[in-house]
Amino acid sequence: MKVDGIPYRSIWTEGDGRSVRIIDQTKLPHAFETLPLRTLEEAARAIETMQVRGAPCIGATAAYGVCLALAEDSSDEALEAALARLGRTRPTAVNLRWALEEMAAAVRNRPRAERVEAAYARAGAICEEDVEICRRIGAHGLTLIEAAAAKKGGGRVNVLTHCNAGWIACVDWGTALAPLYLAHDKGLDIHVWVDETRPRNQGAALTAWELGAHGVPHSIIVDNAGGHLMQHGEVDLCIVGTDRTTRTGDVANKIGTYLKALAAHDNGVPFYVALPHTTIDWTLRDGFAIPIEERAEAEVTALTGRDADGVVRTVTVSAPGSRARNFGFDVTPARLVTALVTERGIAPASEAGLLSLYPERADG
Ligand code: MRU
């Protein structure tokens, strides 16, 4: 997607094809800054501090983290240490594990002299595959928006989304936002309700920034407004991303997703989840077995924003001395999900539904 007319991806290589660069997502929307990743540790820290975030983007960054580690030391010990270090960065998004397994398979049985080249080749392919997957998710999801528009006789379609499942959460296009970009580009009249997504405000800061840059009409709402809007017929459908989906269709996504799904269910509003196959954890049947990340208290007790002078400041919003808990994700049971939108098509959120799209996973 474009930033100020220039095409960007969330992560890329430049020059010799070995230097890795990311968009520093912690600086958005106040500043657009790119950042080099020069070492394994820089890649791991970028994931931990959420300079890169979003399940597919985390996976892509981890893949390049393995490349950077091997470029310094291509021994078995260095490879295993890199896989372990990156694997500890964030617990919920299963794309991280998937990408590390892909990288291990690409280099483990090779002679040391071939490892760096093989690693960069696989990391680059992971990124290219993700772009194509997201484009396909967009094309399938577009049919849902078109159906909603037809139902309203061509009237405005109001879509609610939570967190950021856009192009910077992936490599390009996004998952939940890809259908919205395509719908807008096709001339459909859409408007997006953007949940602010406390505590880190991925909605207000990132989704709104992405949609605004692409010219998609949107309004930021507080996280608790969705139910009210649904009660008043102001939401035609919800579409969100996911960090890990079980083989039975339970969905872990940013904290607050479950409450939106409950409200959607109560109000008869379709609730869709968009995901690439890399976000499916075929080893799990029970969503409550998904590890839920708990992050620092300070993300809850403080807010960062730009003041009237344009200076970015962090201020405390909580009562002095109060403790906080910061659960990063929650689990929406499959029964509350209308359908899953994948690169292979749209299916019910169930094991049978997923296996109808991915029959090769029937045995595990
Ligand atoms: O904590 P984050 O910002 O990494 O959480 C991201 C989300 O919850 C996204 O909705 C999810 O990763 C899907 S991104 C295509």
Verify whether ligand 1 is closer than 6 Å to residue 328 (CB atom): yes
Instruction: Look at phi and psi of residue 187 and say left if phi exceeds 0, alpha if psi is from -120 to 50, else beta.
Output: left
Q: How far is the CA of 6 from the centre of ligand 1 (A)?
A: 24
Cα separation, 327 vs 153, whole angstroms: 41
Verify whether ligand 1 is closer than 6 Å to residue 165 (CB atom): yes
- Statement to judge: residues 240 and 200 lie in one domain: yes
Vertex 188 angle, CA 185 and 194, to 5° = 85
Verify whether ligand 1 is closer than 6 Å to residue 197 (CB atom): no
pLDDT digits (tens, 9 = 90+) for 298-344: 999 999 999 999 999 999 999 999 999 999 999 999 999 999 999 99
Task: Say whether pLDDT at 43 is over 90.
Answer: yes
Q: How far is the CA of 137 from the centre of ligand 1 (A)?
A: 16
Asked if residue 45 is part of any domain, the answer here is yes
What is the SS3 assignment for 165?
coil
- Statement to judge: residues 156 and 94 lie in one domain: no
Query: Residue 245's pLDDT is what?
Result: 98
Query: Residue 198's pLDDT is what?
Result: 98
- For 220, how many CA atoms within 13 A lie in the half-sphere containing its CB? 17
* CATH number of the domain bearing residue 114: 1.20.120.420
pLDDT digits (tens, 9 = 90+) for 337-357: 999 999 999 999 999 999 999
- Statement to judge: residues 268 and 202 lie in one domain: yes
- Statement to judge: residues 75 and 13 lie in one domain: yes
Verify whether ligand 1 is closer than 6 Å to residue 163 (CB atom): yes
- Picking from 104, 129, 154, the residue at the C-terminal end of a domain is 129
**Pocket probe mutation, ligand 1, options 162, 168, 242, max atoms within 8 Å of Cβ:** 242
pLDDT digits (tens, 9 = 90+) for 78-105: 999 999 999 999 999 999 999 999 999 9
Query: Residue 364's pLDDT is what?
Result: 79
Asked if residue 237 is part of any domain, the answer here is yes
- Statement to judge: residues 223 and 296 lie in one domain: yes
Query: Residue 104's pLDDT is what?
Result: 98
- Statement to judge: residues 247 and 215 lie in one domain: yes
- Statement to judge: residues 274 and 223 lie in one domain: yes
The whole-chain average pLDDT of the chain stands at 98
The number of distinct structural domains making up the chain is 2
CB 219 within 8 Å of CB 191: yes
- Picking from 129, 160, 187, the residue at the C-terminal end of a domain is 129
- Statement to judge: residues 117 and 253 lie in one domain: no
- Statement to judge: residues 116 and 166 lie in one domain: no
**Pocket probe mutation, ligand 1, options 24, 196, 209, 243, max atoms within 8 Å of Cβ:** 243
Q: How far is the CA of 79 from the centre of ligand 1 (A)?
A: 27
CB 168 within 8 Å of CB 46: no
- Statement to judge: residues 205 and 268 lie in one domain: yes
Q: Mapped to the 3 state alphabet, what secondary structure does 297-323 carry?
A: CHHHHEEEEECCCCCEEEEECCCCCCC
Asked if residue 135 is part of any domain, the answer here is no
- Picking from 106, 129, 152, the residue at the C-terminal end of a domain is 129
Q: What is the number of the ligand 1 atom nearest to the C-alpha of 328?
A: 1
- Statement to judge: residues 219 and 169 lie in one domain: yes
Q: What is the domain extent for residue 80? A: 2-129
* CATH number of the domain bearing residue 279: 3.40.50.10470
Asked if residue 356 is part of any domain, the answer here is yes
Query: Residue 216's pLDDT is what?
Result: 97
Active site residues: 243
Verify whether ligand 1 is closer than 6 Å to residue 175 (CB atom): yes
Query: Residue 148's pLDDT is what?
Result: 98
- Statement to judge: residues 99 and 215 lie in one domain: no
